[in-house]
Structure 1
């Protein structure tokens, strides 16, 4: 009873601390005078350290603490190798994406697409993709910590969902991006501390790190460098690297909430420094969560709680482990739960800020009644949109709580939408001759293709594939005294029920493995297409967008003299390659005035692009 009181006290204290961070950032930071101050955190008002933690946490999210350890425990180290793709994405974003639109003076990254293609259709397709994907993912993000809160503290889903979204709305109204970045930093430090405590204590229980390594290797959890090219395997080294590379490029290079963080810094050099420093930080945070999974698996290697019925979902293994092994440390469970709660909160805050900005710039600001709104009124509108978006996310979280399949569908949606989004930015920056018709056709075709594959994949209804787990070492003293036993594991009837599940070739007396999935004929092309791992959806989507975009642009009078592109909106390398390959001089303009011509409607407070001569020395052809 005393431990529970401590847990609740620590839980409430950390939530209060989050409010303290908000109030501190509000009082100590520069006053938000304009929309840009709110959206971009008043340039220079956020430290480099806080920015690094925010970028890393924005990508890894709540899954870094709950998802990855359970992934290792039940599926092995395959997803660990997505780290290769993540790390490769940063220098590519740094050298290919950042120079093009860092100094454009825009508040929505999708505004760049309108400036490049002179088409609001392309811009809205991209921003709409981001909006839908973010809303779905945020519903899952809000619901994830609610599972742990209900499992341990008994808080009902509806209470946790309303609490998280309500606090997030208050944060967004009062603090803007600056409070979100600072909250990310605080939660990152708490999560790092909790992970280190779990690892050190786990090493002690598991008889040292060497034994942890040996047990996980012996039980086939460490499976690195699998270069199998079969696209239907859930994850291999190849699919983890390529698939995650394209997903990371889409997120770090084309997604509003990340680019918005870049814009909040003083200069491009600061952003470059931040991205380079984020790589080792990402590797550290990412690997830390997998080591937690290694430790927990070693402790429960011969007595799996899920096989015994103590937990029903694989993601519950972390809360169960802490409740089981840290009963002697009052308040630690409250600390972990508060960290999960606040992590979901900070991710929601930063995304509400970004989504409301995109909704204003790309949709609402074009409604006649809102055109010509002052800076103050624009800020009010963006904050109002944050409130509306928050309630939408709350509703989706309630749907997630009722529908177990929505989580998987949302994850598939994330992979499926990365390709079209990345593809249209690749067309804009690296294919000078493509036009808005090609860009729009490419995105639509890519969405239809990936949606077709996703629906087909869900129709196959595959059972989750888990590695075998053992219960042969279970005794009545395996778990802590305060964990109420479900049954006496010494009863022979119980042992016989698990012996019936034994796989002799595994050499254990009881295992839990995935149900056998019937394989279809190799000649069934549709089945093979539906069976492609979601890790490749982003790669396929990008390829389809670029391929269709180039073809359609060519078919719709590719070299029309009426088409002109501002060279500052293209990557200089693409201009040089274009000139070398064709020997022709493409018509480019350099004054930026064409962006407000009849072919495009003026956007709210659009700034003209700043020349890239200070970044690249390559000279492009101009007329």
Structure 2
């Protein structure tokens, strides 16, 4: 017997089918627009910085000096945005909003350290570097300590840290690309690598700076757009501030002296100050930008004017976190099991709110992709330069090559590094815990690097033995703490309270499950406290102080060993010291024992002696 369907039900079924078909067509159209916008954004961003190089072949752009320093033709504004962009990455765009959402504003206060670092770099590091005519910042260490070992230790630290950091950086947008658009991880990693090689071959520093400028502007526009949308949605900026304040998201000016608290005002400021000094004052990609400017006054003006720019770029992701919290404060996607990780909160927001708007997803993913790309390009340029100056230039066969051939070698090295970084990105995607491990190791390298430069500039009697042993001792000690933290420490990660009361009823079961997991975690935390040992107390020291401890340990160890091993052969040119220290030290009765001479680029920088300083 045939069933008879009422006409009204048939009409309703037809209407539902039409609505579903319309929705499917609209979704397909939006997907097409997202693809078009994403590809266009990446292509335009990639071609604009090197358009002149593609259109005409200038003889000036073929020299190694132009590739490394941009031939001094980079504007102050472009350099400001490039330096500011270098202090922020894709991880900050995704990480800071989730940090505010689930842990509050405590980490925001690390901005104090960044701001404090800029004038210190201006008046401490720049006066020493500028008149030396060096290409690699680590060449300064060899000139100061007359030791290739110290130079290679510092260069190796920079190379390893940068490779690990870039592996994490280029992997970050591949997650969004795979989740949103469905692009396989290997395709994204390969694309970033190929474009980076293209830039490395044709662009050099000028292309890297131009790419940084484009990324800074696009990232700022995207974040400002999110803040405006959320403000309109919740009823104004004051509403956003009220919601965050009422739910204990603001945690400023906590000066607790406990070294085991994850973040306090003191640890945020001191920790980020030391990390920023290591980054801005001792890392090749930043010093390379400073030395591309023609005068020391322009360098100082650029850095000081950069403080408000960095403040804006640093704070925007935090404002985004505040705005997104105002949207989801009563319905936490993580507690509701809609997302699996904290860092997915911003991508989830974009899908939830803008999935029906054509092209928005493309801009968002394009910005993340381009962010990883520009950082990769910028650092590949610096990695290749350091490798040439500190390692390959020692090979007689390469050192005797013409400037053009040397440039080709540098570009080849950059290509190799791009492939290595892609491999690190694959490893990050395959192994669990690699991201956290690599980030901790990266933070642990800041102290030894900064410490050896402090020894070089401010401790007149420091010698190469003290510098080398100080770096090695600091590396081993901080690495021991990091490994112990990862393996044995029972450090609990406490998140602020969130709610799913505003979610749908079918998500309440997820809340129960999450609450149960929270109880188990709290019980484990209690057990950890009861069974804590001295080693666990050491391992649980907040990572914010790793840079501080590493610097202090390097300097103290370097001073002790230098005093124990000093000899009359430990001579160097007084230009290697900071001018203020040089002025004070010149008034000491034994200061003349440390004066020598050296050669840089064929120019003698002597202090009354004709012979080069003795080699250690």
Structure with max Cα Rg: 2
Structure 2 residue 445 is matched with structure 1 residue 413: no
Structure 2 residue 181 is matched with structure 1 residue 174: no
Contact 1:415 1:537 in 2 (8 A): yes
Q: For residues 262 and 56 of structure 2, what CA distance do their matches in structure 1 show?
A: 48
Contact 2:90 2:169 in 1 (8 A): yes
* Alpha-carbon distance change, 403 to 523 in structure 1, aligned in 2, over 3 angstroms: closer
Contact 2:127 2:579 in 1 (8 A): no
Contact 1:76 1:220 in 2 (8 A): yes
Contact 1:25 1:179 in 2 (8 A): no
* Alpha-carbon distance change, 511 to 457 in structure 1, aligned in 2, over 3 angstroms: closer
* Alpha-carbon distance change, 501 to 366 in structure 1, aligned in 2, over 3 angstroms: closer
- Please list, as runs of the form range in 1=range in 2, the aligned pairs for 1:66-77 lying within 5 A after superposition: 66-77=94-105
Give 1:69 deviation, angstroms: 0.9
* Alpha-carbon distance change, 608 to 315 in structure 1, aligned in 2, over 3 angstroms: farther
Which residue, out of 272, 280, 300, partners 2:308?
280
Q: For residues 575 and 5 of structure 1, what CA distance do their matches in structure 2 show?
A: 64
Q: Counterpart in 2 of 1:124?
A: 152
Q: Name the count of aligned residue pairs.
A: 575
Contact 1:65 1:289 in 2 (8 A): yes
* Alpha-carbon distance change, 403 to 271 in structure 1, aligned in 2, over 3 angstroms: same
* Alpha-carbon distance change, 110 to 512 in structure 1, aligned in 2, over 3 angstroms: farther
Q: Counterpart in 2 of 1:530?
A: 539
Q: For residues 607 and 150 of structure 1, what CA distance do their matches in structure 2 show?
A: 54
Structure 2 residue 42 is matched with structure 1 residue 15: yes
Contact 1:471 1:511 in 2 (8 A): no
- Scaled by the length of structure 1, what TM-score is found? 0.88
Q: For residues 602 and 256 of structure 2, what CA distance do their matches in structure 1 show?
A: 48
Which residue, out of 464, 468, 481, partners 1:436?
464
Post-superposition CA distance 1:117-172 (Å, at most 9, x none): 00000000000000000000000010011111111111111111111111111111
- Please list, as runs of the form range in 1=range in 2, the aligned pairs for 1:167-566 lying within 5 A after superposition: 167-459=195-487, 460=489, 462-475=491-504, 490-491=505-506, 494-496=507-509, 498-499=511-512, 516-517=524-525, 518-520=527-529, 524-556=533-565, 558=566, 560-566=567-573
Q: For residues 162 and 103 of structure 1, what CA distance do their matches in structure 2 show?
A: 41
Q: For residues 522 and 181 of structure 1, what CA distance do their matches in structure 2 show?
A: 52
3-state SS, counterpart of residue 227 of structure 1? coil
Q: Counterpart in 2 of 1:114?
A: 142
Contact 1:187 1:339 in 2 (8 A): yes
Q: For residues 607 and 369 of structure 1, what CA distance do their matches in structure 2 show?
A: 23
Contact 2:469 2:558 in 1 (8 A): yes
Give 1:368 deviation, angstroms: 3.4
Q: For residues 372 and 606 of structure 2, what CA distance do their matches in structure 1 show?
A: 37
Give 1:404 deviation, angstroms: 2.7
- Return 5+ residue gaps in structure 2 as ranges: 1-27, 608-616
Contact 1:457 1:531 in 2 (8 A): yes
Contact 1:187 1:343 in 2 (8 A): yes
Post-superposition CA distance 1:531-573 (Å, at most 9, x none): 11111000000001100111101101x3x33322201111121
Q: For residues 151 and 587 of structure 1, what CA distance do their matches in structure 2 show?
A: 64
Which residue, out of 56, 61, 65, partners 1:32?
61
- Return 5+ residue gaps in structure 1 as ranges: 476-489, 504-509, 597-602, 612-623
Q: For residues 607 and 254 of structure 1, what CA distance do their matches in structure 2 show?
A: 24
Structure 1, 342-351 or 454-463: larger mean CA deviation: 454-463
Q: For residues 406 and 297 of structure 2, what CA distance do their matches in structure 1 show?
A: 30
Give 1:465 deviation, angstroms: 2.9
3-state SS, counterpart of residue 409 of structure 1? helix
Post-superposition CA distance 1:172-216 (Å, at most 9, x none): 111011111101101110111111110011011112111111111
- Scaled by the length of structure 2, what TM-score is found? 0.89
Contact 1:137 1:411 in 2 (8 A): yes
Give 1:335 deviation, angstroms: 0.6
Post-superposition CA distance 1:330-356 (Å, at most 9, x none): 101101111110111010001000001
Q: Alignment RMSD, CA only? A: 2.1
* Alpha-carbon distance change, 225 to 561 in structure 1, aligned in 2, over 3 angstroms: same
Q: For residues 220 and 281 of structure 1, what CA distance do their matches in structure 2 show?
A: 28
Structure 1, 415-424 or 323-332: larger mean CA deviation: 323-332
Give 1:370 deviation, angstroms: 1.7
Give 1:575 deviation, angstroms: 2.6
Greater helix proportion: 2
Give 1:4 deviation, angstroms: 1.1
3-state SS, counterpart of residue 553 of structure 2? helix
